[in-house]
Amino acid sequence: MAIKRGWNGRFFEDFQVGDIYPHPLGRTVTQTDNIWFTLLTQNTNPIHFDAVYSEKTEFGRPLVDSTFTLALVTGQSVTDISQNVMANLGWDEIKLPNPVFEGDTIYSFSEVLDKRESKTRPNVGIVSVKTAGYNQEGKVVIEFKRTFMVYKNGHGPDATSDLLDKVLNTNINA
């Protein structure tokens, strides 16, 4: 029996400056997403949840909370760039060139801008990326730079490895 492990993300050594990672999953934003996120974050601006108010704005309909867009696009990038991150160090230069509306589908990609060894932690390196999110029409709706500490190969926690070995050995030997 061959064990075929799934994708576990990139480690420090896997990043190369200039590489671009198209993130595989798009996500259609729903009215529920917008309302819940607005409530969870206590954002009281009615442009996010009051249709009558929103109709009177230049947009004519509710805008999706911009911090939801930041969270969504960051989340879309995890599989490719931060599955093995020890810590986020910051988001910089966040730009929102076009609005997001309920019903838009958001896609994203990231480009590696910089990488370097950590000066204080030998088990991680520091990587900076630029991430962009765009809608179904190809309009960029968010851009930002993000810097994070990512584990080096063989230094990150692997909670599933030992557990999987235990389960397989128990079931194979039964």
Check pLDDT > 90 for residue 133: yes
Check pLDDT > 90 for residue 169: no
* Euclidean distance between CA atoms 85 and 78, whole angstroms: 9
Q: What's the mean pLDDT in 124-147? A: 98
Check pLDDT > 70 for residue 172: no
Other beta carbons within 10 Å of 75: 14
pLDDT at 51: 92
* Euclidean distance between CA atoms 96 and 141, whole angstroms: 5
| Residues 98, 60 contacting (CB under 8 angstroms) | no
Check pLDDT > 60 for residue 106: yes
For 8, 78, 165, 168, the CA distances from 1, given in Å and listed in that order, are 21, 30, 13, 10
Q: Smallest Cα–Cα separation from 74: which of 88, 86, 84? A: 88
Task: State percent of the chain over pLDDT 70.
Answer: 91
pTM above 0.85, yes or no: yes
Domains of the chain plus CATH, in order, are: 12-172 (3.10.129.10)
